[in-house]
Amino acid sequence: MQSKKQIYNLPNLLTMSRILIIPVIFALLFFKKEIYGIYASVFFIFAVLTDFIDGYIARKKKLVTNLGIFLDPIADKLLVVTILIMLIPLNRIPAWVVVIIIFREIFITGLRAIASEKGVVISAGKEGKWKTAFQMFGIFFLLIYYEHFNINFGSIGLILIFISIIFSLISSYKYLKSVSGVLLGS
């Protein structure tokens, strides 16, 4: 059993802060003025940075805990899914795009759970990492959305999200291929 000191380490606190940022971004997206999207994008960038920092510190300082292993991917998915759903009524992203992204996340989580049950660990491949990078930049641009400095943030955000979907499909295929033996029981 892990002690409270081990559980409440810096990486886990950063992950928990990412979860606590989600309602702030959620609330900001209720306001229709441009400035609230910019505020939301600042909080989003902070959340994304905590994701990179918590993982780095956990590995570097050997502070990996079961709580962190459990919470980190949940925090990531909650952040992405909540924002994408909030962007639908703002007409910044089509609902069908969000459905594809959510379906992929549930599908991969299920594959990982089945593989883990059989003792197989599916680590993120380069396509999954590219998917995440394009998705995060796409969400950032969609939060800002409006034109600033002669840049149409909304259009660029959608393009980045579409590119992330391509990487999502490629990585999903590779995940499925890597665990096909486990799924088929061989």
Local confidence pLDDT in tens for the 186 residues of the chain: 555 656 778 888 888 899 999 999 999 998 878 899 999 999 999 999 998 888 788 888 887 777 777 788 888 889 999 999 999 999 999 999 999 999 988 888 887 777 777 776 666 678 888 998 999 999 999 999 888 788 888 899 999 999 999 999 988 888 887 777 666 665
Q: Are residues 172 and 105 in the same domain?
A: yes
Q: Which domain holds residue 110?
A: 93-186
> Of the candidates 63, 87, 111, which is a domain's last residue?
87
In the listed set 87, 108, 136, which residue is the last one of a domain according to the structure?
Answer: 87
Cα–Cα dist 173/1, whole Å:
37
Of the three residues 65, 87, 109, the one that is the final residue of a domain is 87
- Is 0.75 surpassed by the pTM of this model? yes
One domain, residues 76 and 16 = yes
Torsion 37-24-56-68 (CA) sign:
negative
For residue 173, what pLDDT is reported? 85
Percent helix, strand and coil across the chain, each to the nearest 5: 75, 0, 20
The domain total for the chain is: 2
Question: Do 186 and 100 fall within a single domain?
Answer: yes
